[in-house]
Each structure stands twice: as structure tokens, then as C-alpha cells.
Chains A and B, each alone.
Chain A
């Protein structure tokens, strides 16, 4: 209950104009700050898996994507940072705009897009050939960034990921020597080191114990003070705890589609669609 109250306060602080459902905004003068999906579709081969998703992810918010398995949530967030195209048969339609610029435009460098829009995966995947410190700095090394003070980045990122206190005395240990929850927080720290403006998280807590999950949720809330976070989760309570906005995906044996997107509190207490109500109350899915 306490959680929900905090949520409420935060929600009232948010400007009401940050409505997530995409309306027609051709006449908008200034570009929308944040990440925006416009009429996104996705295919694997001839299989249409995602149909007409339009969503906005404003800066300094957490957006939860919920829905049953196989409804295209993961495909959707992989479209948002161009990870979708690594699957050989993949195809897409529509636009993804970051601060008004289409990340799928022909002259855009996919690697640069992924640098700005980071991703944390379901399974913790620290680099086994690197120690904790090197793992945190790996993004800087991989993207060839020039940074002056490595030590402060390591400390800063690990602190923001809630791992600093636990590992500060063994930064030279391998990532594999950490527990699953710690590994996942290391992966979060790693994605923070390149200073993304959006962080996509694909079920980051699905393999973790409640304690680690709680730590990561706190981390997400802290992150949302600076950047936009998009989190896919199967855990309703988690979505209610961490997200400011929520989007509910569904599939009827066809491509996945967006049923409803709204402020989390409204979606959980007073959804406009009965299917959403059924899902959040655990009646199916």
C-alpha cells in the first residue's frame, strides 16, 4: 500500500500532457523529447507478430509493458533499439523516433542508436573474459569512446546499479563469480556506463530472487530521475511498483497488438478495456 501511495504522489507530479497513447500530432512544433513508436509492425518471415503499436516514452519516466507470453512485447522493445534486425528473417514497418528523429532512417548508424538506447536482457550476461571493472567499462571500450576518468565511471555506475558496496573490494574478480542478481546489476551498470538516454529492460528480474528484484526496482526508480526506462515484465506487482505508465499487449492467435496504455494507477484500478481489467486481476494470462 505504501508503494502505491508513493506512486500516486509521483503520478500527480507528472504532467498530464504526457499521455502515452499516440494521437495525431502532425502540427506539433517542437519534437517530442523521448522515444516514440509510430505505427510499428514486425514480421518474422511471413509471420506477422506485431501490429500497429504506437507508444510514447517520455524522458524521466518508467513504462511497463505487460501482457501474456508471445504477444510481442520483447519483439517490440527489440525494435526500439534496432536489435530486431539481428534475426535473419526479421522485417518491420513504421517509425521509431528519438527526439523526433527516425532511428530507422537510411543514413542513421545502428551502432550509434544502440549506444543511446541501451538494453538489459532477461538472462544476466556479463562478459566472461573480463573482470567486474572491465565489464562496467566494456561499453566505453567497445564503442571506442574517449573518457578521462575510468575509476569514477566504475564507481558511479556500480553505485547507481546498487552494486558498489558489494563489489568495491573485488573489482578484479570475474563477473561469473557474482550471484545471479549481482550479475544482472552488473549488466545494468555496464549499460549505464555509456550514458544512454533510454534503457530498455527485457524481463530483467525474471531469474532473480525477491531481494535482488527489490534492489533492481530501486535502481530503476533512481534511473528514472534521469532517463526513460522501458521494462517488460510478467510480474503485475512489479509493473505496479515501478512504472509510471503501463501498456497492455495482447494477441488473439494473430499479431500482437496494444490493448490499452495509460498511467499505471489508472490501468490497474480503472482500465477502460475489460480485457485489461481481467488480465491485471489475474483472470487470464
Chain B
């Protein structure tokens, strides 16, 4: 028998994952973090350092100190690695803090008015100063969703088509189209509102949801078109060649091969477009204005939206009005979150 043959073992061994941390190490790490949290909380409570920022800063310092304490026991290489990872996690958390801070204050201040009636009621028979269990922002939520959806319906085909023109067709006007799209993304949002005001609102002689959708569409289009272009650029030329070699024409190649390949990327384009406009206030003040009751007809006169609802109530400035405004901001944030989740779900992941 040759020396290299290892004795065969017919029993199937237990599957193991030696590259992962052992249970003991995991417990040690977790308890270190927990201990740091407790120490940070205690320090914050004792010294009166207030707010999320102070808490995060304290946690970072405590983590560094704990790491330093643990580092005495290990050799230099591991010690270096420990410090670097704590520093990276810490600074990432620090960069995350402003966002967390905004989110936390919106949630805390908006929670007071976050009641069922906020989602169904309107302000027809309620004055802003009334108790928070009266009235609501249902009309503004419906208005916002309607206008943004209409704007998306207008923009998505246009934006995707311009992306297709820029990457697939590459016609003579490519340079011009790209230039216009880039210039459009720099247009101040109020200019878009003003444009629709002098054209559409003046013409129909009334503020309306459709006018608001048009203004939002102007702002969405460059974002969607540019994202679509970037996404389409990533489609390998192999696939186009394969399609042409099967006797396909250009438009069928774009429609049946290229676009389906980047479905999730195009969903991202739509999401970025919605994110760009859902919080816009200025153009809506010039186009859809606001109302105190439900309006379902896009051409049925002024229509409320969450940003203008928040804006209007903040202008009044009394305690309950301000509270309603905060809840409006919170609902707007949750709405964006819900829209994104839905879009991801519908758009799915690329199957590749």
C-alpha cells in the first residue's frame, strides 16, 4: 500500500463551520457590547449628557476603553485588528447618528398624534387647535399618494424610454438628450411649480392634483432617466448580440431582452424618483395648494398633500397644530418606507 493513501472512513462526519466564531467567543463579544451599553447608559444618566448624540459618543468611547482593556491579553496583530474594527464600527455609527437623531425626534414628537383618526379623518370640521383625537390627515395622505402615483405613471415610461434612447438607440440627439436631462436635474423645484402654474394652472383656471403631478413629474424625470441610463449601461453586450443573432430587431431586443434583465434596477430608478419628489412642498404650493377635505378627482380643484399639510400647520404654530405637523412628517416617512418595500417586492431581485 502506498504511503499517500489515507484510511477511508465510511461514517459521514458532522458538518462543521470552522471559519465561524466559536460559541464562547460569540458570548464574550456579545457580553462586551452589552457591558459597554450599560456603562454608556450609566454615564449618560449620571453626567446628564443628553440626547442620542451624547449617548452614541459615550458608547464609542466606552467601547474603545473596553477594547483597550481586552487588548492587553492578546498579541499585537490581533490588538491592531480589534482597534481598527472598533474604530470603523464607531465612526460608522457616528455618521449614522444625525439620521438616527432626526428619525428619533420625528418619531417621538409625531407619536402623540399617531392615532387611528389621523389616517381616516380630515380637517373639514376640525380646526388645527382641536384635540388630537379629532380630525386627521387622511385627505393629505390620499392626495400625496395620488399625486406621486400619477407623477410616477407619467415619468416612468418617459424616463425609461430616454434611458433606452441614450444607451440602446444612441441616435443623433444623444448628446442633446443627455444635456437636457442633466440640466433638468439642476432645476430648483419651485421653478417646476411655477412652470406648471403659468401653463397648466392658468389654462385650467384652477389648482388641481393633476397640476401637482405634472410639477412632480418634471422633477422626477431627470432622476429616473439618469438612473435608468446607468442601469441599462450595465447590461452586457453579449446579450444584445445573442438577441440580434436570433434575428431580433432592435426594439424587440430592448423590450424583451435588455429591459427584463434590469427589472430590479429600473425599480430602483422608480424608487429614487419617488424619493426625490414625495417630500416636495414648494412646487405643490403653486400647483395643488391644499384643501381641508378628501379630493379624489385629480382635476377637482385644490388638493391636500402631506408636505403642504405639514407646512400649513407649522405656519399656524399653536401647540396642537405643531403636533399634527410632526405626525404628518412621521406618516410621510412611513409612507416612503412602505412604498419602497412594496416596490422592492414587486420589482424583485434580478434572477441572475
Contact = CB atoms under 8 A, between A and B. Distances in A.
Given A127-B261, A129-B260, A176-B352, A194 B241 contact: no
Interface string B103-117: 000000000000000
Given A111-B249, A127-B239, 17 more contacts: A83-B244, A111-B248, A116-B247, A118-B245, A118-B246, A121-B242, A125-B239, A128-B239, A128-B352, A129-B260, A141-B256, A142-B243, A142-B248, A142-B252, A143-B252, A187-B242, A191-B246
A123 B238 CA distance: 8
Given A114-B247, A174-B351, A194-B247, A125 B263 contact: no
B257 interface: yes
Interface residues of B, number: 22
A91 interface: no
B238 A125 contact: yes
Given A111-B247, A127-B242, A142 B351 contact: no
Report the 8 A-B pairs with minimum CB-CB distance, sorted nearest first: A115-B247, A142-B248, A129-B260, A139-B246, A119-B245, A128-B352, A125-B238, A143-B247
Interface string B48-62: 000000000000000
12 contacts: A111-B247, A111-B249, A114-B247, A121-B238, A121-B241, A121-B245, A123-B238, A130-B260, A139-B247, A142-B256, A142-B257, A143-B248
Contacts of B252: 142-144
A24 to B, nearest CB: 32
A132 to B, nearest CB: 12
Nearest to A110: B244
Interface residues of A, number: 30
Contacts of A138: 243, 246, 256-257
Contacts of A83: 241, 244-245
Contacts of B253: 142
A284 interface: no
Interface of A: 81, 83, 86, 111-116, 118-119, 121, 123, 125, 127-130, 138-139, 141-144, 174, 176, 187, 190-191, 194
B350 interface: yes
Contacts of B257: 127, 129, 138, 142
Contacts of B239: 125, 127-128
A114 B243 CA distance: 10
Contacts of A143: 246-248, 252
A114 B245 contact: yes
A238 to B, nearest CB: 22
Contacts of A123: 238
Contacts of A191: 245-246
Contacts of B241: 83, 86, 121, 125
A114 B246 contact: yes
Nearest to A81: B245
Nearest to A196: B247
B249 to A, nearest CB: 5
A266 to B, nearest CB: 32
Contacts of B243: 127, 138, 142
Nearest to B236: A125
B247 to A, nearest CB: 3
A156 B33 CA distance: 62
A114 B239 CA distance: 15
Interface in B213-227: none
Given A128-B352, A142-B253, A174-B352, A114 B244 contact: yes
B126 to A, nearest CB: 51
Contacts of A139: 246-248
A11 B233 CA distance: 48
Nearest to A176: B352
B40 to A, nearest CB: 47
Contacts of B245: 81, 83, 114, 118-119, 121, 191
Contacts of B242: 121, 125, 127, 187, 190
Nearest to A120: B245
Contacts of B263: 129
Interface string B228-242: 000000001011011
A174 B236 CA distance: 17
Nearest to B247: A115
Contacts of A86: 241, 244
A65 B66 CA distance: 70
A202 B79 CA distance: 55
Contacts of A121: 238, 241-242, 245
Contacts of A144: 252
Nearest to B260: A129
A119 B242 CA distance: 8
B260 A194 contact: no
B351 A129 contact: yes
Nearest to B242: A125
A269 to B, nearest CB: 35
A127 B239 CA distance: 7
B169 to A, nearest CB: 13
